[in-house]
Amino acid sequence: MVKIEEYCDIVDGGLVLRQQIQHYIRQNIITCDPVMNSQLDMLDRLGKSNVPLTILGETGCGKDGIAQYAHEVSTRKNKPFLKINCAYLTEDLVSTELFGSGSHTPGLLRRAAGGTLYIENITLLSSQTQRRLIEYIRTTEGTANDIRYIIYPSNEGSVRNQQLIEPLADHFSAAPFVIPPLRERSADILLLTIQQLRYIQDNLGLKRTVSPAVMTAMLEYDWPGNIRQLTSVLERMAFMSDNVLMDSVPLLQRCLSANKQFQRMQTAEELPPQPKTLKELMAEYEMKIIHQHIEQYGTLRKAASVLGVSHSLLSYKLKKYHEAASNGEPLK
């Protein structure tokens, strides 16, 4: 485990990086991990080529950021960077998105010409759509469009064991990028924590720092949900804490317990989900809209203005949501 004092000074009980966070940022990726940096070096070398890229890693590992990095360090950075997630669309919609519908509605395969197309959860495509995709890639038009393809199969594993037909698997087998899980790069846990707390201050208006005790507990945790879980827990802690210094390890543990979607299965059979009331479903939808607006408009205050509510009301709703989640209660 990384030694906190190698990277941070303790100021008013909280942690402050000795070096500016920019020292650890490559494009949009924050890391000081040697394995991660060697993988990013590979992307830098491939930037001038048309070699397809396959991203492999656990859920929540930051695959979207890697895909964006691969585009930004390539000679295509001024061309389109387009993305499709096959997990969120029906087979018909995926096909329409990729190939278009008629001459007046071009699909992503035409709109991404000269740029990068990132296909997430590609192994969820039917074998028929996969065959159509590889056939297009090999056509004269597909070659002329000069697209650099990036794929993410789905969760962990290699391309070959995740239901890709053989011609498509062969096409994408040349350049795998394996994202190390967060538990294997503890220094990055520290860096990402400090960066996320800065984001929370700038966008949610909550100034927070963590104590060495809380940071040590975070470094000892295995983070099965990786970066996605880390950011979710820190946001919940920020709203649950009444002080700038977050020094309660029990609070961290409660917030970790509330992240049920990230917890590893402890038994062979998962209990069936409990049905939710309309009120609970509406509350969850409201939180989704609030978070989307904060992400889109950058700050809690701007999101509140667009939504037509006060800054204090939006802050109250978010705190109420995180308190309920941390106590294992339904949203109301």
Which segments of the chain have a pLDDT < 50? 156-158, 160-161, 265-273
Q: What is the pLDDT, as a whole number, of residue 173?
A: 86
Question: Does a structural domain hold residue 325?
Answer: yes
Question: Does a structural domain hold residue 321?
Answer: yes
Domain boundary pick from 148, 178, 208: 178
10 Å Cβ neighbour count for 270? 8
Contact 294, 307 (CB under 8 A): no
Are 48 and 167 found together in one domain? Answer: yes
Range of the domain at 117: 34-178
Are 141 and 62 found together in one domain? Answer: yes
Provide the 8-state DSSP code for 276: -
Q: What is the spatial distance between Cα 190 and Cα 14, in angstroms, rounded to a whole number?
A: 13
Are 77 and 170 found together in one domain? Answer: yes
Question: Does a structural domain hold residue 16?
Answer: no
Are 173 and 42 found together in one domain? Answer: yes
Token pair for 47: 């930037």
Domain boundary pick from 146, 178, 210: 178
Residue 84 has φ and ψ, to the nearest 5°, of: -140, 135
Question: Does a structural domain hold residue 23?
Answer: no
Rounded CA Rg of the chain: 22
Are 202 and 99 found together in one domain? Answer: no
Contact 141, 130 (CB under 8 A): no
Q: What is the pLDDT, as a whole number, of residue 85?
A: 93
Provide the 8-state DSSP code for 184: G
- Please, is 245 exposed, middle or buried when counting C-beta atoms within 10 Å of its C-beta (0-12, 13-18, 19+)? middle
CA-to-CA dists, residue 167 to 119, 121, 164, 172, angstroms? 16, 17, 8, 9
Contacts of 270 (CB under 8 A, 6+ apart): none
Q: What is the spatial distance between Cα 209 and Cα 32, in angstroms, rounded to a whole number?
A: 21
Are 174 and 305 found together in one domain? Answer: no
Q: What is the spatial distance between Cα 258 and Cα 270, in angstroms, rounded to a whole number?
A: 17
Count of structural domains within the chain: 3
* Matching residue, tokens 């294997």: 184
Are 168 and 114 found together in one domain? Answer: yes
* Of 1, 54, 61, residue with least CA distance to 29: 61
Are 113 and 186 found together in one domain? Answer: no
Question: Does a structural domain hold residue 28?
Answer: no
Q: What is the pLDDT, as a whole number, of residue 270?
A: 38
Per residue in 76-110, pLDDT tens? 999 999 999 998 889 899 999 999 987 788 999 99
Pairing between β-strand 81-85 and β-strand 116-120 as defined by DSSP bridges:
parallel
Are 61 and 166 found together in one domain? Answer: yes
Question: Does a structural domain hold residue 201?
Answer: yes
| CATH code: domain of residue 201 | 1.10.8.60
Q: What is the pLDDT, as a whole number, of residue 272?
A: 44
Are 253 and 323 found together in one domain? Answer: no
Are 197 and 235 found together in one domain? Answer: yes
Burial pattern 116-149, b for ≥16 Cβ within 10 A else e, equals: bbbbbbbbbbeeebbeebbebbeeeebeebebbb
Q: What is the pLDDT, as a whole number, of residue 330?
A: 58
Q: What is the spatial distance between Cα 111 and Cα 99, in angstroms, rounded to a whole number?
A: 10
Token pair for 241: 């804490």
Per residue in 149-180, pLDDT tens? 999 987 544 454 457 888 998 998 888 899 99
Are 191 and 55 found together in one domain? Answer: no
Question: Does a structural domain hold residue 144?
Answer: yes
Q: What is the pLDDT, as a whole number, of residue 265?
A: 36
Token pair for 186: 């503890």
Contacts of 260 (CB under 8 A, 6+ apart): none
Domain boundary pick from 121, 146, 178: 178
